[in-house]
Amino acid sequence: MQSLALLYSDSQDEDIPMGRLNVYAHDLSVMAKLRDKYALKMSHKTYKDQNVHTICHMILERIKSVEKIREQVQKFAVPYMEEHRLRKDETLYDYICAVAGENIYKTTSNSNPWDERCLEISQVIENIHIRCRAVIDIARRSRTPWTTSLTSAVKAMLREPTIDKDLIKELHRQCQLAEFGKILIRYEIPLSVMENAEKYSRSFVGILKRICRPETDGEARLKCIEDCLELVRLLKKLGSSLSDVKPEFIYATYATAIENDIVNKSLEAAF
């Protein structure tokens, strides 16, 4: 009878009252430790939905000051990962991917400097290849034009002599896409057309025609032609099969646009 009572007193079976009480007491103990040691507060309901990985992400998420991120990661997140035997570099990388995925193409602001935060966290990653993958993911999901910090981080990765060639190739690709996007923004063309522009000639030609606006003249017209030629060059670097667009096509497109504009203005004047 005594052994049976002892069994029930240690039970973690939530189907019996004593088991539920024991589990609840254990949960409260863990929550108190998270609060006192890792400065992380949460309700019991929230805690029940977590695991060691998501709790680590929550510890990282509560660090809001970009200037203190590295210090706070070392103070709170790294000890938690060590306690629960989480692989530091992979865990930090997974967190960066999660945050970047949630904020894809969102403009960075003072209230949501997600890319700056992720870049700072990436600097805590020791493995240079994993850190490079983190920078690539941040770049892939960041809005054009890039922030100064992201540009610097990408350049720093490109200077690393030991990084895998495939990672370097992908970094260059992200740089080319960013340059492509900057040109589109200059002409108020939505970035959403970029994917189709790589695949379909009609989409790419549509972009060129939109840039070749007849109302421009002088230096502005030359700049438009230069930008069109740059888009063709970037498309070739990106490996698109549509990169065989010749300069003559761009000149002809511009000439046609100007001619059509002249005709339209003449018709308007006639009526």
Number of domains comprising the chain: 1
177-205 per-position pLDDT tens digit: 999 999 999 999 998 888 887 777 778 88
Closest CA to 152 of 129, 188, 123, 126: 123
Report if residue 246 sits inside a domain.
yes
Contact predicate 27/44, CB 8 Å: yes
Angle at 70 between CA 64 and CA 71, to 5 degrees: 90
189 CB-near residues (< 8 Å, 6+ apart):
207, 210, 211
Contact predicate 64/118, CB 8 Å: no
Report if residue 198 sits inside a domain.
yes
What are the CB-based long-range contacts (under 8 Å, 24+) for 264-271?
none
48-89 per-position pLDDT tens digit: 999 999 999 999 999 888 888 999 999 999 999 999 999 999
Q: What are phi and psi of 149, to 5 degrees?
A: -65, -45
The dihedral region occupied by 39, where left means phi > 0, alpha psi between -120 and 50, and beta the remainder, is: left
Whole-number pLDDT of residue 69? 92
Report if residue 247 sits inside a domain.
yes
Report if residue 213 sits inside a domain.
yes
Whole-number pLDDT of residue 254? 56
What is the domain extent for residue 205?
Answer: 189-270
Ranges under pLDDT 50 in the chain:
1-7, 109-111, 262-271
Whole-number pLDDT of residue 90? 97
Report if residue 226 sits inside a domain.
yes
Report if residue 227 sits inside a domain.
yes
Whole-number pLDDT of residue 174? 95
Report if residue 215 sits inside a domain.
yes
